[in-house]
Amino acid sequence: MKLRMLCLLFGLSSILVSYSVNAEETDPITLKTLTDYVYSQHPARQAESSMDALAKSRSDLAGKLFAEPLSLSVNHFNDVIGSGEGLQEWESSVEMPIWLPGEKRHQQNLSRHLAAELPYYQQRIRLDASAQVRRHVWLVMLSAAKVRHAETLRDNARNLLNNVENRVEGGDLASSEALLAKSHHLEMQSQLASAKMDLQQSLNQYQYLTGQQVLPDVIEENLPLSTEIDKAHPLLAELEQQIARQRSEIANARYDNVQHPSLSVGVKRERDEHADPYNNSVGVGISFALNDEQYQQPAIAQASRQLADLQIAQQQQKRQLEADLLAAMDTLKTLQQRQTLLKEQYAVSQQYVDMQQRSFDMGGVDLTSFLRSQEIADKHRHQLLQLEIEIQQQIAQINQIAGRTL
């Protein structure tokens, strides 16, 4: 039996509507629109701008003509505190660091990997938003089922009280039976008040999360076609992209802590004595480090360690998801088996209540016995509805574990 039919049968729809009388007419609410809203408000989205900035900064760096900022040096020499013969010397030069072979290409690759991470990050955040929507929607449904059950118990207790009072007035029952029925009615009213309070709290949390006062018309989900965890899972896909980015980080680590070759261009203006004319000259030069590989190793080792950590995290995440999915499928199977048995129990208990009702009306059983039989049937009725909700909730949980976003 579909949950929608059960909701209509047991009156859940009317309960939820009664708690949403102030809701304005808006566009149709779906699980997707709820998830869109929760995703848009998700605190983790604040990191997106910094991720964009990091990728852009790497891209800008790779687009530079020189590997490091240019440097200007100016030197002046004279013999004022020496011989005093008028020696003057001015030197100025510009140092231009040059990209090492392949370095610029690796920087560009890293910037592309960093930019590619954002969509995977966003998909993981949307999966988390889906989890929040699923959790709160089904909490509301379970709370509404408890209210409906409490209302049924209250109505039955009220009808029974009226029946008992009429029979007491007619002399068929002792007045103590009326006191028992009244006490039972008051207890059911108390349970209903408690259930309504729980439902209101669930609705408040739902409204705070989603900005909506009513549930979507359709909240049931279908089981995934495949119950295997693949690399497209948002959690695994993000880690896969991080692994690709880290491999690029290792390639770039070879250029950390190295001295870039530097091309220098300078001019020199000098004279030996006061009477001598100035001599002007231009010079060029190049400098590069010798045997600097050992200075690169710490950065390469650190980047390699981070890559290994990411690969381990991906494997552990996949195993955990597979274990969670297997356990969730087993739970669903158990719930479905319980549902089959509970339907039979409910049918039997309802038949027994009908028999006890006739017997009570004819004076064959006392009120306590009848209340006990009615309590059992009501419990089975409530359990049946709650179990159907739990089955649909479990299907939603399976989709969540499988990485299906709303």
Summarize pLDDT for 39-61 with one digit per residue, the tens: 999 999 999 999 999 999 999 99
Label the pairing between strands 279-287 and 71-78: unpaired
Among all chains, which residue has been given the structure tokens 């050992």?
A: 294
pLDDT given at position 21: 46
Q: What percent of the chain has pLDDT over 70?
A: 94
How far are the Cα atoms of 67, 68, 184, 259, 261 from residue 100, in angstroms, in the given order? 8, 11, 87, 10, 7
Q: What pTM was estimated for this model as a whole?
A: 0.85
Percent with pLDDT over 90 in the chain:
63
Cα–Cα distance for residue pair 43/282, rounded to 1 Å: 59
Report the candidate in 237, 234, 239 with the shortest Cα–Cα distance to residue 125: 234
Bridging pattern class, strands 262-271 and 279-287: antiparallel
Is the pLDDT score of 72 beyond 80?
yes
Q: Selecting from 1.20.1600.10, 1.20.1250.20, 3.20.20.70, 2.60.40.10, what CATH number does the domain 3-401 have?
A: 1.20.1600.10
pLDDT greater than 70 at residue 6: no
Distance (Å, whole) CA 291 – CA 306: 26
Element (H, E) at 107: helix 103-169
Across 270-277, average pLDDT: 86
